[in-house]
Amino acid sequence: MFDEPFVFFFAPLVIAIVALIFARKAMNQVAELRQRLDAIQATPAAAAAPVPPPLTPWEAFEQSLPSASAGATPTPPPIVPDTESVAPVAPSETSEQAAGGAAPPPPPLPQSDRGFEETVGTRWVVWIGGLTLALGGFFMVRYSIEAGLLGPGVRTMLGGLFALALLLAGEWTRRKESVSSIVALPIANIPAILTAAGTAVAFATVYAAYALYGFLVPATAFILLGLVAMGTLAAALLHGPALAGLGVVGAFVTPVLVSSGKPDFWALYIYLAIVTAAAFGLARVRLWRWLAVTTIAFALLWTFPCLQCGPSMVGPHAFHVLAGFILAALLVVCGFMFGPPADEGQVEPISSGSLAAYLLGATLIVLNGFHADAAMIVFGLLVAGSLLVAWRSDAAAGAVGAAAALVFVVFAEWAVRANPDMLVLPGGPLSGIGPNATDGSVSLHLISAAIFAAGFGVAGFLAQGRSTGPIIPVIWSAAAVFTPLALLVALYARIAHLDRSIPFAILAVLLAVANAAATEILSKRDDRPGLQASIALFATGTLAALALALTFALEKGWLTIALALMSAGTAWISTQRPIAFLRTLAAILAGIVVLRIGYEPRIVGEAVGTTPIFNWLLWGYGIPAASFWAGSILLRRGGDDAPLRTVEAAAILFTVLLAFMEIRHAVNNGDVYRQSAGLTEVALQVCVALAMAIGLERLRIRTGSVIHNAGAILLTAFAGLAALFGLMLLENPILWSIDVGGIVINLLLLGYALPAVLALLLSYAVAGRRPTGYANTIAAGALILALAYVTFEIRRIYHGPVTAHGPTTGAEQYTYSIAYLAFGVVLLGIGILVNSQRARLASAVVIALTILKAFLIDMSTLTGVYRALSFMCLGLVLVAIGWLYQRILFRRQAAAPVAPATPTGS
């Protein structure tokens, strides 16, 4: 721990440094504004000035007011040019100018660059001097402590006298400058710096008297430090933002410096309310938006340390946010009560943010107070106040959105809390369930939810057409649609435990009717800014409420379907009301459904059933897939953008997952979480992936969609990897003991023959539309799968259903050679008939492999008649192939003989 003299020195030093930082920043802003003003005055009136960007009321008034550092004089004295620098004007010249019209304005005086000497002499020296004065007082007290020269009482009194001397010096210099013709430098104002140093020493003196020497009891020290802070804020009216920064920091830090074993929260929050009122009042008078923001931030921070006190101390915390909210509404919100003037139809960040900050504080109190009645009542009052203030002033409309979001946070947190089972509507618990401690809280929440839903809904509808700005009605309508839906979901989760509930389904239907009526009424009004977006939002709310009604009335899993249908419905509304937000909303709903299946791929958990195909997977994946495909078709009418691509990706994903999940469900007898996969599952997945890739290749030609293009490539890649690692390695019936079934109708037909055919079709689907290497790679894969099927089928004939065991006989080896030759000849015949060079090349590859097998395998393993027959058949086939190539494929026409010339008659 630090010793007392070190604390005495360090704490005031920190306050002084913080104050100097605030002052430095504020004075830099004032200097920049002065330079801009000088530049505007120096510009000729005829020059075309660029139009500045629109300013918020706080910015406009802050720039229009003069610098506070110039003293109490409202306007700076005019700059009078030196008489020697202005040439006299002859009377004749004056008369000629009067006769010819208005005289042109005199040229601006040249602005000389400030040199190093002037910078050091007028700025740095003043700043260093002020800091030195404050540190000098600290060091003098520290030296007296170390040397034992003076007693604690004398040292404290001398510190107070030194602070008073600095304050008097600051006031004296300010008054001297105000009556002189010297304009103070705003960045190095001597009166302000002297006063700042005096207030810093005053803070340190009071704190030392309390913390180091025990001269003051906590209550007295608290009052004195508060008075110093309030006096500093008051002096800021005369000396500028430096003291305002020092005062607001000191005022909010004072409760930290003065601690007590038994904290009095009521005294603390009453003190903070007085400080907040003074700071807001100063910010309003001087139009210092930075001071308003700083005050709000400190006030919100003072909510956090006291949140751990539990529900018993909700009262003073609630008073803190309620008092701050009222003060912000009265003094900070533009266009309301005593706040600055507002621009109609514009959302002002500080006005909306101030109310939202105190709403956040009230939300934290509710959550940490376990939804105590007092906390809920105060939270409801602040929400109602936000709606009222925003109704009167468009500048605070942003607080409406914040209030809607925080209402959902409060009720969502309440819904997920552990609660007694079987809670019902306010009629009470079911028969046989006794009363419990949470019954009152449930009733209060239900009443509050009804009031919130009605308040946001009615106000959001009535607010349409009241504002000239396009964003204001959209904020109101979004809150009117979102809040009742969110509250209905939260209450359903809390009371019905996400089970089937007809009463909640009826409420959802009533909400859909209300939104539909609002949509119809607004559609008949004359077009105004933001009206179309509001109509679209209410229409979307209608679809959302109907989807919830379906979810509440039916069993689990229908929420996924309802949200997917809502996405398609939103896409349809976007075709009727071409508003960009609706396209985005359709994409967001699709994303929510995707996240939903990520949480539980079975949609309904164990209730998915064991019936192949016709189970919950068909509805849980099939209906959303169809909905997303329909939504993508509707969205494509409005152009190709990110929302369309999102919905298209969801459509492809759900289609693929539908097939894969149904395959896994059917193969594993309903257990989709089984760790291993068999030959049947891998074969079906490869076939489905290839078939879908073919479909997407055809579809992308018509749509030109990058999502369809990427989906086709990804499915092809998946099929290739699954065929290589699954069919050829992990599930290869020659390598592993796998029962392939019957002789002809077996797993080999499904796992190798059908994928070979689909791969061949895919290679023709991409031929001429993708790079040649891409198509040839797919064709090569088809050839490999076909050869694998021929090989495995022959082995099935000789070895039975399990092909991994038993020796390979000479007859089997001879059969392989004959089958390969026949396969090559068939490929050649097809290539000749359809004039396909790819088929002929495949035939050449198969026959080349057969030749290699004959010389490398048959010659060493076959004996007797099988070896002879193998080479004889191979030779005959090769000769026949050569004959076909010579006589049919590359036939050359012999030149006709030239007839001899007949002699002419004699």
Beta bridge partners of 131: none
User: Distance (Å, rounded) from C-alpha 476 to C-alpha 807?
Assistant: 81
**Splitting the chain (906 residues) into consecutive groups of 10 residues, what average pLDDT does each group show?**
38 46 56 71 51 54 44 38 39 42 49 46 47 53 52 56 58 50 41 56 59 63 64 59 60 61 70 77 79 87 72 78 92 88 86 93 87 88 94 92 94 73 42 41 86 95 88 93 93 83 92 92 87 88 86 78 88 82 88 88 84 91 96 93 95 96 92 88 96 96 95 97 95 92 92 96 94 94 96 94 88 87 86 84 85 75 66 67 58 47 46
User: Distance (Å, rounded) from C-alpha 319 to C-alpha 382?
Assistant: 11
User: Distance (Å, rounded) from C-alpha 550 to C-alpha 458?
Assistant: 25
pLDDT for position 333:
92
pLDDT for position 451:
94
Contact call for residues 573 and 544 (beta carbons, < 8 A):
no
- Residue type, position 20, single letter: L
Dmax (CA) for the chain in angstroms is: 162
Q: Among residues 426, 421, 379, which one has the least CA distance to residue 402?
A: 379
Beta bridge partners of 741: 746
Q: What are the structure tokens assigned to 60, written together?
A: 């406009």
User: Distance (Å, rounded) from C-alpha 535 to C-alpha 521?
Assistant: 9
The residues, ordered by sequence, that sit 6+ positions from 124 with a Cβ below 8 Å of its Cβ are: 188
Place of tokens 């009535």: 462
User: Distance (Å, rounded) from C-alpha 230 to C-alpha 235?
Assistant: 9
User: Distance (Å, rounded) from C-alpha 491 to C-alpha 484?
Assistant: 10
User: Distance (Å, rounded) from C-alpha 255 to C-alpha 268?
Assistant: 7
User: Distance (Å, rounded) from C-alpha 3 to C-alpha 146?
Assistant: 12
CB-count burial class (<10 Å; 0-12, 13-18, 19+) for 272: buried
User: Distance (Å, rounded) from C-alpha 725 to C-alpha 705?
Assistant: 30
Q: Among residues 149, 158, 142, 206, which one has the least CA distance to residue 2?
A: 142
User: Distance (Å, rounded) from C-alpha 119 to C-alpha 78?
Assistant: 23
Contact call for residues 22 and 162 (beta carbons, < 8 A):
no
Contact call for residues 505 and 496 (beta carbons, < 8 A):
no
pTM for this model (two decimals): 0.61
Place of tokens 């006989």: 809
Q: What are the structure tokens assigned to 246, written together?
A: 């020092």
CA separation (Å) from 339 to 59, 134, 233, 290? 13, 37, 19, 15
CB-count burial class (<10 Å; 0-12, 13-18, 19+) for 835: exposed
pLDDT for position 335:
87
Contact call for residues 571 and 586 (beta carbons, < 8 A):
yes
Angle between helices 349-368 and 314-331 (to 10 degrees): 170
CB-count burial class (<10 Å; 0-12, 13-18, 19+) for 702: exposed
Contact call for residues 257 and 207 (beta carbons, < 8 A):
yes
Torsions phi, psi for 817 (to 5 deg) = -65, -45
pLDDT for position 543:
83
Q: Among residues 597, 615, 722, 602, which one has the least CA distance to residue 666?
A: 615
Distance of CA 273 to the CA centre of its chain: 35
**Torsional class of 857: left (φ above 0), alpha (ψ -120 to 50), beta (otherwise):** alpha
Handedness of CA 843, 844, 847, 852 (dihedral sign): negative
Q: CB neighbours (10 Å) of residue 117? A: 8
- Residue type, position 756, single letter: A
**Over the stretch 582-617, which tens digit does the pLDDT of each residue have?**
898 899 989 989 988 888 888 888 888 889 998 989
pLDDT for position 422:
38
Indicate the SS3 state at residue 875: helix
DSSP sequence for 719-764? HHHIIIIIIIIIT-TTTS--B-BSSSSBHHIIIIIHHHHHHHHHHH
What stretch of H or E contains 117?
helix 116-119
CA separation (Å) from 578 to 524, 566, 635, 638? 17, 17, 10, 8
User: Distance (Å, rounded) from C-alpha 420 to C-alpha 434?
Assistant: 11
Q: If DSSP states are collapsed to H, E and C, what string results for 610-650?
A: CCCCCCHHHHHHHHHHHHHHHHHHHHHCCCCCHHHHHHHHH
Q: CB neighbours (10 Å) of residue 186? A: 24
Indicate the SS3 state at residue 802: strand
The residues, ordered by sequence, that sit 6+ positions from 601 with a Cβ below 8 Å of its Cβ are: 657, 661, 672
- Residue type, position 222, single letter: F
pLDDT for position 624:
95
Torsions phi, psi for 566 (to 5 deg) = -65, -35
Handedness of CA 325, 331, 334, 337 (dihedral sign): positive
Torsions phi, psi for 572 (to 5 deg) = -65, -40
Contact call for residues 211 and 3 (beta carbons, < 8 A):
no
Handedness of CA 576, 577, 583, 585 (dihedral sign): negative
User: Distance (Å, rounded) from C-alpha 423 to C-alpha 430?
Assistant: 8
